Amino acid sequence: METTKLSVPNISCGHCVTAIKRELGEIQGVSKVDGDQKKKEVTVSWDAPASLDKIKSTLKEINYPAVD
């Protein structure tokens, strides 16, 4: 299992975190999604077939792009 923490500056409220958790949770292989609206961070745990690229592309699609 891999886990990564992503900075997502577009997070502004709890609804944002809920939307991100819902969308990322639908990716096959993603097992856990946590969000922190104050730190504007999302922590994601996954196994194959999910990938960091897929997670980042999904965030971008839903208008919450991760920044490096």
Q: Within a domain: residue 66?
A: no
Q: Within a domain: residue 54?
A: yes
Cβ contact 54:27 at 8 Å: yes
Q: What tens digit of pLDDT does each residue of 37-67 get?
A: 999 999 999 999 999 999 999 999 999 999 9
Instruction: Report residue 20 as tokens.
Output: 């991100």
Cβ contact 24:59 at 8 Å: yes
Domain count of the fold of the chain: 1
3-state secondary structure of 7: strand
In a 13 Å sphere around the CA of 54, the CA atoms on its Cβ side amount to 16
3-state secondary structure of 61: helix
Structural domain range at position 6: 2-61
The answer on pLDDT for 68 being more than 90 is no
CATH number of the CATH domain containing 6? 3.30.70.100
